[in-house]
Amino acid sequence: MNMKTKNNVISVCLFIFFTIIALITLLPLLLLAVSSLRPGSDLMRFGLNFNIDWANANLNEYKMLFSGQNNYFIWYRNSLIITVIQVALALFLSACVGYGFAMYEFKGKNIIFLCVLLVMMVPTEVILLPLYRLIMRMKLINNMWGIMLPYLVIPMLIFFFRQYLSGIPKELQEAARVDGCSEYGIFIRIMVPLMKPSFAAMGIYQGMQSWNNFLWPMVVINDIDKITLPVGLQSLLSPYGNNYDILIAGSCFAIIPILVLFVFFQRYFIEGMTAGGVKG
Amino acid sequence: MKKKNIFRKFLYSQKVAPYVFIAPFVITFLVFFAYSIVSMIIMSFQNVAGANTSFAGLSNYRILKNAVFIKSLKNSAFYTVVTCAIMIPIPMVLAAMLNSKQMRAKSTFRSILFVPALTSVVVAGVVFRMMFGELEGSFMNQVIGVFGAGPLIWLRRPTTVWIALFILCLWRWTGVNMMYYLSGLQQIPEDLYESASIDGASSMQQLRYITIPLLKPTTIYVLTISIFAGMAMFSESYMLFNGNNSPNNVGTTLVGMLYRMGFQQNQLGIASAIGVTFLTIVLVVNLIQLRLNGTFGGKER
């Protein structure tokens, strides 16, 4: 066998192998999509599977979802509001902090940066209870600010921005100072525009975190019309009434916008969600 | 007017500006993180009932000898060890295969494998809970039915619960870990492989002596995030069992135990003791890790 045919055989084998892997990967989502075309009562009786009577497949579950007879879009709106505010504030505040660490020398810098690493290292679940008690004392239970306030400055983002800015020459800062730009002007007018690519990646990172966050919002919010989408979907998991209809169609509808965004902004998704990977 | 000017000058000086920039972190760190840690440590030595607190000494830490707590600790540890054992080699090999010259449509497969990471733990949990349902028609029962195995009550038996949890983890995170390895692979210079193949090294030898050693930084990073994600696992189990209670505690994790004591049984002191234990474990793991990496004065003497 010569080199070329050997390469072709390897190529075909790899292709087949990855096609199988890709199918297995997509299978749970296909299962969800197919099931959204049949009544939820089927799920309870027959289980989640691909045996669907295509002649009777319909969009009734989606009609029910959009009928406004349920809380789904209230949850959707809550999640959307929280995600947008949290991403905007977290990006801005973390960028400030990252900039401070990257471009200045000051007393206590190392020890404070060590604190950033400490927060990054300790899983948020560790302080779940004391943080909840604090939020309770601040009277922010059942309030979307209770979800957001502790997580407006994200160590991961600080780390990433600092890393990103370390590639920008300090002479730029010096030159702007000579031109009479104030310290904050330098940040807003010169650095923020330079950081745009990192904002895209980090925006998606934080957006995914906020949109998919489950445990903390579940703990902080109790009212059924104030909960976020993941918490709301979880509450539908008991087979009662038309819960399953909304659960399945609603789960699909929760992923679709993200999938669409992913198709268009793939590069930023991958960059953002794998941020913190080792460089060099 | 003059006072305002002085203040402005102070705020705008080059000495003060960096502190203004890092202030958001310092404030949230002190208010939320440091305060929580300190109050958790204090609470772990107290009996807390409503507004009344009294000193309890070490009695809250008796939970460490509790059978259910030990089980939850074992569950978390087991989950962590196994997820590390599967979530490193599998994505690494997939990345190496995807990166090979003979591979076609690389970016398409890369994107498809990444898709599960876009789902929330809730949506993924809903699908997996139903796939691993106990009905004869539930997807996984249909799959094993093809091989003649009978319908299983997946989420009641330890072994099958673990299988479901590991498959869920593998499904969601393979793409992400693979992406770390792909970017790691791209940093290995091509000519290393060329000279190796000139010297007659097989592709297995190349993997063993070039790829794996040079991917060490990536592996360390993936290992680190896997350890902490594993120790903090809670939502996956919560979704599969539709709540924090699993039959015979097969799916109760460390965080699950903390949640049960703190939020379900109102045993704040005990929950805090669990939190402190968790924190200690995290710090110890970190120290060991830093030492092994040699970044903590381990190697330089």
Residues 180-239 of B with CB under 8 A from A: 180, 183-184, 187, 217-218, 220-221, 225, 228, 231-232, 234-235, 238-239
Dihedral angle computed from the Cα positions of residues B266, B271, B273 and B278, in that order, rounded to the nearest 10 degrees: 180
Q: What is the pLDDT of residue B32?
A: 96
Q: Strand B52-55 vs strand B46-49: parallel, antiparallel, or unpaired?
A: antiparallel
Q: Taking residues B54-80, what's their average pLDDT?
A: 92
Same-domain status, B17 and B76 = no
- The yes-or-no verdict on residue B208 having pLDDT over 80 is yes
Residue B153 falls in which region: left (phi positive, over 0), alpha (psi -120 to 50) or beta: beta
Q: Which of residues 16-55 of B touch A (CB under 8 A)?
A: 17-22, 24-26, 28-29, 31-33, 35-37, 39-40, 43
Q: Is B54 helix (H, G, I), strand (E, B) or coil?
A: strand
Q: Is the pLDDT of residue B299 over 70?
A: no
- Rounded CA-CA distance A280/B121 in Å is 31
pLDDT of residue B301: 32
In a domain, B149, yes or no: yes
Question: Which of A49, A247, A258 is the closest to B138 by Cβ?
Answer: A49
Asked if B193 and B126 sit in the same domain, the reply is yes
pLDDT at position A277 is 54
Does one domain contain both B16 and B162? no
- Do B125 and B251 fall within a single domain? yes
Q: How confident is the model at residue B294 (pLDDT cuts 50, 70, 90)?
A: low
**pLDDT, position B300:** 36
Q: Are residues B179 and B211 in the same domain?
A: yes
Of A116, A131, A233, the CB nearest to B122: A233
A226 within 8 A of A142, measured Cβ to Cβ: yes
Please provide the CATH number assigned to the domain covering A72-235: 1.10.3720.10
CATH number of the domain enclosing B268: 1.10.3720.10
CB–CB contact B24 A17 (8 Å)? no
| Nearest chain A Cα distance for residue B230, angstroms | 10
**Closest by alpha carbon to A132, among B297, B212, B35?**
B35
Whether B145 and B90 map to the same domain: the answer is yes
Q: Are residues B13 and B86 in the same domain?
A: no
- Give residue A262's region: left, alpha or beta (phi > 0; psi -120 to 50): alpha
| CA B296/CA B301 separation, integer angstroms | 11
Q: What single DSSP character describes residue B118?
A: G
Looking at the structure, tell me whether residues B24 and B70 fall in a common domain: no
Q: B23 and B156 share a domain?
A: no
In degrees, rounded to 5, the angle at the alpha carbon of residue A202 between the alpha carbons of residues A184 and A159 is: 70
Give the span between the Cα atoms of A242 and B51, in whole angstroms: 42
Q: What is the pTM of this model?
A: 0.90
> What average pLDDT score do residues B207-224 get?
88
Q: Are B125 and B133 in contact (CB under 8 A)?
A: no
Q: Do residues B68 and B293 touch, judged by C-beta distance below 8 A?
A: no
> Position B120: which residue type?
S
| Residue B279 in contact with partner chain A when CB distance is under 8 A | yes
Averaged pLDDT, B44-58: 84
Every domain of chain A and the residues it spans = 3-65, 72-235
Query: A36 with B130: CB under 8 angstroms?
Result: no
Residue B168 resides in a domain: yes
Contact present, A212 and B235 (Cβ < 8 Å)? no
Q: Taking a C-beta distance cutoff of 8 angstroms, is the pair B239, B126 a contact?
A: yes
- Enumerate residues 6+ apart whose C-beta is below 8 A from B264: B244
CA distance A123 to A1: 54
Q: Are residues B37 and B166 in the same domain?
A: no
Q: List the domain range (segments joined by +) for residue B169.
A: 63-293
Reply yes or no on whether the pLDDT at B212 is more than 60.
yes
Q: Is A255:A190 a contact under the CB 8 Å cutoff?
A: no
Q: With respect to residue B189, please indicate whether it lies within any of the assigned structural domains.
A: yes
Average pLDDT of the segment spanning B95-122: 91
Low-confidence ranges of chain A (pLDDT < 70): 1, 239, 276-280
| C-alpha torsion B279→B283→B285→B291, nearest 10 | 180
Distance (Å) from the alpha carbon of B197 to chain A's nearest alpha carbon: 14
Q: What burial letters (b/e) apply to B166-184, b meaning 16+ CB within 10 Å?
A: bbbbbbbbbbbbbbbbbbb
Q: If pLDDT is split at 50, 70 and 90, which confidence band does B291 have? A: confident
B134 and B219 within one domain? yes
Instruction: Determine, for residues A122 and B102 on separate chains, whether the beta-carbon distance falls below 8 Å.
Output: no
State phi, psi for B200 to the nearest 5 degrees.
90, 20
Residue B262 confidence (pLDDT) above 80: yes
Please tell me the predicted confidence (pLDDT) of residue A270. 85
List the 128-157 stretch of A: residues with Cβ below 8 A of B.
Answer: 128-134, 149-150, 152-153
The per-residue pLDDT for range A91-104, each reduced to its tens digit, is 999 999 999 999 99
User: Is the distance from CB of B273 to CB of B63 less than 8 angstroms?
Assistant: yes
* pLDDT attached to residue B298: 36
Burial class (CB in 10 A: 0-12, 13-18, 19+), A225: exposed
B53: in domain: no
Do residues A122 and A187 touch, judged by C-beta distance below 8 A? no
- Do A106 and B121 lie within an 8 Å CB cutoff? no
Strands (E), B195-270: none
Give a yes or no: residue B298 inside a domain: no
Residue B254 — pLDDT band, cuts 50, 70, 90?
very high
B49 within some domain: no
Q: What is the tally of structural domains in chain B? A: 2
3-state SS, residue A101 = helix
- Chain B, nearest residue to A205 by Cα: B118
Q: Tell me the average pLDDT across B126-154.
A: 90
B55 domain-assigned: no
B130 and B176 part of one domain:
yes
In 3D, which of A237, A257, A229, A248 has the Cα closest to residue A31? A248
Closest CA to A102 of A61, A30, A157: A157
- Asked if the structure places residue B271 within a domain, the reply is yes
